[in-house]
Amino acid sequence: MACSCRIWKIMDPSSVLLPLWAYFLCALTCADAAGFIHSSPLRLRQLTRANAVSTATGRSEAAIGWGNPDGVTLREVTDNVWEANRPFLWNTIDVGSRMVLIRLKDGSLWAHSPVNLDIPTRAEVDALGPVKHIVSPNFEHLKYGPLWGQAYPDAVTYGCPGLMAREPWCMQEVANDPPDSWLDEFECCFIDCEQNPFTRKSFFNEVVFFHKPSKTLITSDFYWNYPSTSPSRPIPQSTRLWKFGMDRVYLPFYKRLMITDKGRFNELVERVLGWRAERIIPCHGSIVEGRDACEAEIRRQTGLTD
């Protein structure tokens, strides 16, 4: 009951339409991810990955929607950086999902938070180069990691800390130091000071990435940017309500009850700000452009002040 009272205290009175938003978001993700603790060698992980059930389809899933008004399969954001924006339904609410695809200096492709590898998507991806790096950045953004690993057996499947113990297809973990194969092109930061307040277990366990050549910060759930309006396509009412719940209910709850070490969290945010990103590509919501805008957005959402 005490925890419930604390939740109510941080809510704005206008949030009564979504009083249990933060509770349900935590409760729905408190169960362990599918998989099991194991100590399989690399070859066994490759075999496990190859036996993953494929859900790829022949039709494109790049549906026209608020996040992808033109219905394109891949969109070039800047040189050697592409996005794949897809609808993602949570209880019939389109909360959006975005993969980031980057071509490295050696010509290979780096995929962050992969979307479903339908035939049109694979055709466009393959035209850009060989996929060699597949990144599942936190405990939530991993659904299509094994599918991509199955499709690209020469690639390495990377995950956030703790994912190898949960998912047998994850071959290598990444925290604060990129692997040698993309060390020169990326910085990364493990957000290691948050937990589900109900289970006391790690929540997102997210690693955020910075692509140095394009000065792009790539996030999954550390930062989101749901729009309230769109010049090209109306934002569904349910998505606008979701934005309200995330911004006005969940975010204060996260900062007050889910951050376990405020000092450590501020240090990590300062590290991210030190990269001086000129672009943020989140998995959810609109891309942010411009160095000043990027810094202001990270400070606003994390609550970090100058």
Ordered by where they begin, the domains of the chain are: 19-301 (3.60.15.10)
β-sheet with 172-173: strand ranges across: 75-78, 81-86, 97-103, 109-112, 131-136, 156-159, 172-173
Any long-range contacts for 173-182 (C-beta under 8 Å, 24+ apart)? 174/135, 174/207, 175/207, 181/132, 181/133, 181/156, 182/104, 182/110, 182/133
Facing residues of 102 across strands?
Answer: 81, 110
Task: Write the DSSP symbol of residue 277.
Answer: -
Look at residue 268 and tell me whether its pLDDT is greater than 80: yes
The tokens for 223 are 């930062």
User: What pLDDT, on a 0 to 100 scale, did the predictor assign at position 232?
Assistant: 65
d(CA 77, CA 18): 35
What are the tens digits of pLDDT across the range 123-165? 999 999 999 999 999 999 999 999 999 999 999 999 999 999 9
To which residue do tokens 């049109």 refer? Answer: 120
Rounded to an integer, the average pLDDT of 89-111 is 92
Statement: residue 191 has pLDDT above 90: yes
Residues making up the chain, counted from first to last: 306
Averaged pLDDT for residues 243-270: 93
How much is the average pLDDT of 240-269? 92
Residue with tokens 């800047």: 78
Q: Do residues 159 and 220 lie in contact, with contact meaning Cβ atoms separated by under 8 Å?
A: no
Q: Is 76's pLDDT higher than 90?
A: yes
Cα 237 from chain centroid (whole Å): 23
Q: Which of 10-14, 66-70, 184-188 has the lowest mean pLDDT?
A: 10-14
Tokens of 13: 């009175």
- CA–CA dist 258, 245 (Å, integer): 16
Element (H, E) at 244: helix 237-244
Residues in Cβ contact with 70 at an 8 Å cutoff, skipping those fewer than 6 apart: 64
Q: How confident is the model at residue 43 (pLDDT cuts 50, 70, 90)?
A: very low
pLDDT confidence bin for 227, thresholds 50/70/90: confident
Q: Regarding predicted confidence, which is higher, 49 or 278?
A: 278
More confident residue, 215 or 242: 215
**What is the rounded CA–CA span in Å between residue 166 and residue 148?**
18
DSSP code, position 68? B
Q: Where are the alpha helices (DSSP H) in 99-229?
A: 119-128, 145-151, 163-166
Average pLDDT over residues 21-41: 43
Distance CA 151, CA 153 (A): 6
The pLDDT of residue 115 is above 90: yes
CA atoms within 13 Å, Cβ hemisphere of 261? 10
Residue bearing the bigger pLDDT, 46 or 197: 197
CA distance 24 to 215: 35
| Rounded to 5°, angle at Cα 109 from 72 and 209 | 90
What is each CA distance from 1 to 4, 6, 8, 31, 166, in whole angstroms?
Answer: 5, 9, 11, 22, 32
Please state which of the ranges 102-116, 248-262, 263-277 shows the lowest mean pLDDT. 248-262
What is the model's pLDDT at position 235? Answer: 82
